[in-house]
């Protein structure tokens, strides 16, 4: 019995949650929240939204990392095609960015909102926005590598 389909499902589901969530937050929620809400309610909204989203991102990161590692180990690192190595590396970079976001600017956002320091909260949210934009771009490139990589060589 092959576990490949199950591993692939777990991997894709984790990517959908993580990258899809970043797309929704960055492209849909962010501009609308900025246009309709003043800083105090906007920053409180983001603190709550990110608390829920980041809980799921931790699960997604674990699922993507474990399933990706299992999929690549099935053939072995030496035998895996170059595009899989690139995907793995890009995934590790995305995880590092996420961990930084969670422990630095997101922690700063939480602290600023609790202290009602809206200027510091806005700065923290701006940093999160920049890094989520970077991770979203990397996510799309990783998806492209995963779907188109075997044709690239």
Q: What is the 3-state secondary structure (H, E, C) of the chain?
A: CCCHHHHHHHHHHHHHHHHHHHHHHHHHHHHHHHHHCCHHHHHHHHHHHHHHHHHHHHHHHHHHHHHHHHHHHHHCCCCCCHHHHHHHHHHHHHHHHHHHHHHCHHHHHHHHHHCCCHHHHHHHHHHHHHHHHHHHHHHHHHHHHHHHHHHHC
- The pTM for the full model equals 0.96
Question: Who contacts 134 (Cβ-Cβ below 8 Å, separation ≥6)?
Answer: 97
Q: How many domains does the chain have?
A: 1
Is the per-residue pLDDT at 153 higher than 70? no
Tokens matching residue 112: 């600023």
Domain, as residue range, for 70: 4-152
Q: Residue 151 pLDDT > 90, yes or no? A: no
1 pLDDT exceeds 90? no
Do the Cβ atoms of 43 and 112 come closer than 8 Å?
yes
Q: What is the pLDDT of residues 40-84, one digit of tens each?
A: 999 999 999 999 999 999 999 999 999 999 999 999 999 999 999
Q: How far apart are CA 14 and CA 39, in angstroms?
A: 32
Interaxial angle between packed helices 105-114 and 82-103, expressed in degrees from 0 to 180 and rounded to the nearest 10: 20
């Amino acid at each position: 019995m092959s576990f490949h389909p199950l591993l692939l499902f777990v991997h894709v589901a984790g990517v959908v949650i993580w990258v899809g969530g970043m797309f929704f937050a960055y492209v849909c929620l962010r501009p609308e929240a900025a246009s309709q809400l003043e800083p105090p309610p906007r920053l409180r909204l983001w603190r709550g939204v990110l608390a829920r989203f980041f809980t799921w991102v931790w699960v997604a990161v674990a699922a993507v990392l474990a399933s990706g590692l299992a999929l690549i180990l099935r053939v072995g690192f030496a035998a895996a095609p170059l595009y899989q190595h690139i995907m793995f590396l890009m995934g590790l970079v995305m995880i590092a960015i996420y961990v930084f976001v969670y422990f630095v600017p997101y922690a700063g956002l939480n602290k600023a909102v609790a202290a009602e320091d809206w200027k510091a909260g806005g700065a923290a949210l701006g940093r999160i926005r920049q890094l989520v934009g970077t991770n979203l771009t990397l996510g799309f490139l990783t998806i492209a590598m995963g779907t188109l990589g075997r044709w690239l060589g």
